[in-house]
Structure 1
Amino acid sequence: MSTPVRSTYPVPVEDLIPAARELTAELGNLPSRNRIMKEYRIGADKARTILDALTEPTSGPAEPHLRSVPDPGDAGRDDAAAQTPAAVDEGASPQVTAPADLGMVAELTLSAEVPAASPSEVRLVRSWPVLLLALPAFVAVWSGWVGLGELTGFGVVHPLPGIADGFTINSAITLPIGVETYAAFALRVWLSGRVPISARRFAKWSALSALLLGALGQVAYHLLEAAGVTRAPWQITTVVACLPVAVLGMGAALAHLIHARPAQKGDN
């Protein structure tokens, strides 16, 4: 973190520029004039001068270094001929033009940049097979959750009493819709890479937890069904009854983290 320059006497602009560069690196962008005035307690003219210094173009890349290494076999040759440098035309690509009889070996290190492929050259992998994979999984997961819900007390309810008495709904369908939909949503948020780090971390662990709960729910239903049990034990009923509330809480928290702005300095 950059250390503010404090002094009882006016600080020269030349001494403030290095500190301003550290502040720029810390913020990740160019600070405003008011920020510089407040940070270093200076006037508008000095702040403008510092901004001009920060926005000056940096010097270009260093010229490639050319070093001549004498051949060990020519140690006894004329010293004047051995110390003759190779000619390099300024503005042209570095080349060694030393005569062969001098026995000079040029070592030149150049960095090569490989151009990245353009978006048009990238071939995307088709994701339609996921729909084919999801169809049988949807049937199995849906039937398993609905069956487990009925064994734990979920069933037909009248959601609109006094308004539409004939309207009924089986509350067992809330289990596959809530748990499996949240697992898919959190998995998408985790792997997208387009959300804040805190949202990605929460999405990762909550998605894995939702998938694990889904797997345990399927296992519990099939074990109870195979054993001929018509009413689930109270332990399983307790866990299943809490699932809708847990899914609602995780979904609301993840949506908040996705749209939360980064914390600023000075926020309580």
Structure 2
Amino acid sequence: MSTPLRTTYPVPVEDLIPAARELAANLGSVPSRNRIMKEFRIGADKARSVLDALTEPAPQTAAEPVEPHLHAVPNSGTADEDGGSDEMPPALREEASPQVTQSVDLAPPAQTVPSEVVPAASAVNGNPVRSWPVLLLALPAFVAVWSGWVGLGELTGFGVVHPLPGIADGFTINSAITLPIGVETYAAFALRVWLSGRVPARARRFAKVSALSALGLGALGQVAYHLLEAAGVVRAPWQITTVVACLPVAVLGMGAALAHLIHTRENRSH
């Protein structure tokens, strides 16, 4: 306990409560009224007020756990266990000087952290999924898809052209490569937009339908090429030629529409 401060002026009850709480902590129980009168040299009324402040329950919040409080046991008579009386002797009351000490605040109870705030162990310690196996899977698919589309393009009239006549006559390019680059690249791009979840709903729906359509066309193109190649056909039927010839235009339209929908707001007024 700290050294009590003595004063000749009456000390308010509010200033005596911290010292009384420290006394209760040292005793391990709430002191009686006469013990408070004797310890702090105060009258019965002021001692009763201090005792009431010690025994009243402290306000509690929903976030803090409820802790039991100590309660004073009332005396059966006018004298307590110390043998004192309810009233303080006049001679002692005249020379009374209260002892005020600094209150000792107990450490607040530890608050439990809600379970939903604590991250799961798998989220903290789990390793992220690597994407490099996709590149390994894409290598054989790229070879098969590229050769299939180029072969089908040659059967439908695609071939070596001079894109810059009069400018670079020696520069040539096989137009059949436009099929695998256009169709398969758009299918991968639309699939990523669909699964990303970061685009407007209209763009996501369009990306879903167009990605599945592009993948379906790519599969049909591979099937058509292998069937024609196995049958020894050197020129594809006109139906297949018509569909293949329209693919670059269709890919361009779907790509432009998807790019427009990605940058369009949902609530934009027309």
**TM-score grouping bracket, smaller chain normalisation:** 0.5 to 0.7
Q: Which residue of the partner structure matches residue 152 of structure 1?
A: 156
8 Å CA contact 1:88–1:95 kept in 2: the answer is: no
CA distance in 1: counterparts of 2:59 and 2:224, whole angstroms = 80
The equivalent position to 1:195 in structure 2, one of 199, 215, 221, is 199
CA distance in 2: counterparts of 1:192 and 1:88, whole angstroms = 54
Cα distance, 1:260 vs structure 2? 1.1
Query: What secondary structure is seen at the aligned counterpart in 2 of 1:202?
Result: helix
Q: Which residue of the partner structure matches residue 90 of structure 1?
A: 60
After superposition, residues 125-136 of structure 1 pair within 5 angstroms as 125-136=129-140
CA distance in 2: counterparts of 1:208 and 1:253, whole angstroms = 16
Query: What secondary structure is seen at the aligned counterpart in 2 of 1:228?
Result: coil
Give unmatched runs, 5+ long, in structure 1: 1-86, 98-111
The equivalent position to 1:208 in structure 2, one of 212, 215, 224, is 212
Aligned residues: 167
Cα distance, 1:124 vs structure 2? 1.5
Query: What secondary structure is seen at the aligned counterpart in 2 of 1:166?
Result: coil
CA distance in 1: counterparts of 2:195 and 2:174, whole angstroms = 34
Please list the CA deviations of residues 65-112 of structure 1 after superposition, one character each: whole Å capped at 9, or x if unmatched: xxxxxxxxxxxxxxxxxxxxxx99623424799xxxxxxxxxxxxxx5
Distance 1:154 1:203, change over 3 A: same
Q: Confirm whether residue 180 of structure 1 aligns to residue 184 of structure 2.
A: yes
8 Å CA contact 1:182–1:251 kept in 2: the answer is: yes
After superposition, residues 218-257 of structure 1 pair within 5 angstroms as 218-257=222-261
Q: Which residue of the partner structure matches residue 115 of structure 1?
A: 117
Cα distance, 1:113 vs structure 2? 4.0
Q: Which residue of the partner structure matches residue 143 of structure 1?
A: 147
Q: TM-score, normalised by structure 1?
A: 0.58
Report % sequence identity. Answer: 79
The equivalent position to 1:259 in structure 2, one of 258, 263, 268, is 263
Distance 1:116 1:137, change over 3 A: farther
Q: Which residue of the partner structure matches residue 58 of structure 1?
A: none
Query: What secondary structure is seen at the aligned counterpart in 2 of 1:90?
Result: coil
Partner amino acid for 1:93? P
Please list the CA deviations of residues 136-177 of structure 1 after superposition, one character each: whole Å capped at 9, or x if unmatched: 110000000000000000001111111111111000000000
Q: Which residue of the partner structure matches residue 38 of structure 1?
A: none
CA distance in 2: counterparts of 1:166 and 1:154, whole angstroms = 19
Distance 1:173 1:114, change over 3 A: same
Q: TM-score, normalised by structure 2?
A: 0.57
Please list the CA deviations of residues 46-69 of structure 1 after superposition, one character each: whole Å capped at 9, or x if unmatched: xxxxxxxxxxxxxxxxxxxxxxxx
Give unmatched runs, 5+ long, in structure 2: 1-56, 70-113
What RMSD in Å do the two structures reach over aligned CA positions?
2.4
CA distance in 2: counterparts of 1:220 and 1:133, whole angstroms = 23
Q: Using CA pairs below 8 Å that are at least 6 residues apart, which structure has the higher relative contact order? A: 2
- Asked which structure has the greater CA Rg, the reply is 2
8 Å CA contact 1:156–1:170 kept in 2: the answer is: yes
